[in-house]
Amino acid sequence: MPRVSKKTFIRATAISISLGTFIAIYPIISPFIKIPIFPALPQDVYIIIGMIIVMFPSGILHLLNVTWRRAIDRNIPKLLRQIAEAGRIGISIPRALALASEQDLGPLTDELRKVVNRVTWGYPIEKAIFDLIEDIGTPTARRAFTLILEAMKSGGNVEEMFMTLYRHLTGMQLTYRERTAMMRPYISYGYIAFFVFLAIQVILLTSFIGPILDIQSRIEATGETPIFRFAIDRQTIETYFYHISIIEAIISGLVSGKMGEGSLFAGLKHIVVLLTAAVLTYYLIL
């Protein structure tokens, strides 16, 4: 499971922001640069494409990091149980960590191998574990490896301590999975709300407002005054609806990310999907 470093994340985000900004303002600067890079599209389409390019890479990289951290946290209780079982037969904690680095603990295995390799080359084990805590950065990892450090310093009944923390973290993860399962439907609620909103706009424009405007145009062509008359033309109405759908896509995406995954940043990928759906609906259907 890949992990994106902070430096790579910053670099990719900076590139996407630069490229997205350039595409968004391309209709403004194209007369000056005189380079016909893109096809002739409405200016708002360039803005939407720029927004998508800005948000999509950051959303995907954030998802990869979140998935990596969750995989680490899922395997930490297994590590604690292995250390406790090793302690029962007289194996020291450093040796137990070395044995655990040979087991299948997902991405945690690679992190443990880094610790073992550093210790093999003479790096202090306390410093190696502290670096591991800072590198992973999750509360679960901080709590577990801090206990490992204290157990190596103070000794005592470390098996019981590790088993107690193992049961505690296992219970916390079970509670988290239950909460995630309960909140996951809110992601679909955000999508449903957006597509219902979009469908209502399409129905209004194609089955209500559109026919009325057509009748109005035919009556005005005969020189008569229609009884009911829209004060604005169809293109203006479609523009208003289009802008409202863009705002709704952004709001629904953020709500889906926050309610379903607990982070507004997680809503970026949902915004990309909903923005794409809004643009395709208006430029392919309407």
| Integer CA distances (angstroms), 183 to 66, 166, 261, 273, 274, in order | 17, 25, 8, 20, 20
pLDDT tens digits, 5-30: 888 888 999 999 999 998 888 888 87
Both structure tokens of 152: 């190596």
For the cut 90, the answer to whether the pLDDT of residue 234 exceeds it is: no
Q: Do residues 204 and 260 share a domain?
A: yes
Q: Do residues 89 and 103 share a domain?
A: yes
**Looking at residue 141, which CATH number applies to its domain?**
1.20.81
What would the mean pLDDT of 153-162 be, rounded to a whole number? 76
pLDDT confidence of residue 256: 86
Asked whether residue 221 is assigned to any structural domain, the reply reads yes
pLDDT confidence of residue 156: 66
The Cα–Cα gap between 204 and 189 comes to 22
Q: Do residues 178 and 273 share a domain?
A: no
Asked whether residue 129 is assigned to any structural domain, the reply reads yes
Q: Do residues 157 and 178 share a domain?
A: yes
Long-range contacts of 131-140 (CB under 8 A, 24+ apart): 135/111, 136/69, 136/72, 136/111, 137/69, 138/69, 138/72, 138/73, 140/72, 140/73, 140/76, 140/169, 140/172
Q: Do residues 213 and 278 share a domain?
A: yes
Average predicted confidence (pLDDT) for the chain = 85
For the cut 70, the answer to whether the pLDDT of residue 82 exceeds it is: yes
Both structure tokens of 234: 């169809």
Q: 136, 153, 182: which is the final residue of a domain?
A: 182
Q: 182, 208, 227: which is the final residue of a domain?
A: 182
Both structure tokens of 281: 């609906």
Q: 156, 182, 208: which is the final residue of a domain?
A: 182
Asked whether residue 38 is assigned to any structural domain, the reply reads no
Helix (H) or strand (E) holding 104: none
- Grade residue 245 by pLDDT with cuts at 50, 70 and 90: very high
Asked whether residue 256 is assigned to any structural domain, the reply reads yes
Asked whether residue 19 is assigned to any structural domain, the reply reads no
Coil, helix or strand for 121?
coil
pLDDT confidence of residue 11: 92
pLDDT confidence of residue 16: 93
The range of the structural domain enclosing residue 98 comes to: 69-182
pLDDT confidence of residue 195: 94
Asked whether residue 61 is assigned to any structural domain, the reply reads no
pLDDT confidence of residue 191: 92
Q: Do residues 190 and 157 share a domain?
A: no
- For the chain, report the end-to-end CA distance as a whole number of angstroms: 42
Asked whether residue 207 is assigned to any structural domain, the reply reads yes
For the cut 90, the answer to whether the pLDDT of residue 147 exceeds it is: no
What would the mean pLDDT of 40-50 be, rounded to a whole number? 82
Q: Do residues 166 and 77 share a domain?
A: yes
**Percent of the chain whose pLDDT exceeds 90:** 19
Q: Do residues 257 and 223 share a domain?
A: yes
pLDDT confidence of residue 206: 87
Q: Do residues 87 and 132 share a domain?
A: yes
Q: Do residues 74 and 178 share a domain?
A: yes
| Counted domains in the chain | 2
The Cα–Cα gap between 26 and 171 comes to 53
> Which amino acid, one-letter code, is at 266?
A
For the cut 60, the answer to whether the pLDDT of residue 142 exceeds it is: yes
pLDDT tens digits, 197-229: 999 999 988 888 878 777 777 776 776 766 666
pLDDT tens digits, 91-113: 888 888 888 888 888 899 999 99
User: pTM for this structure?
Assistant: 0.79
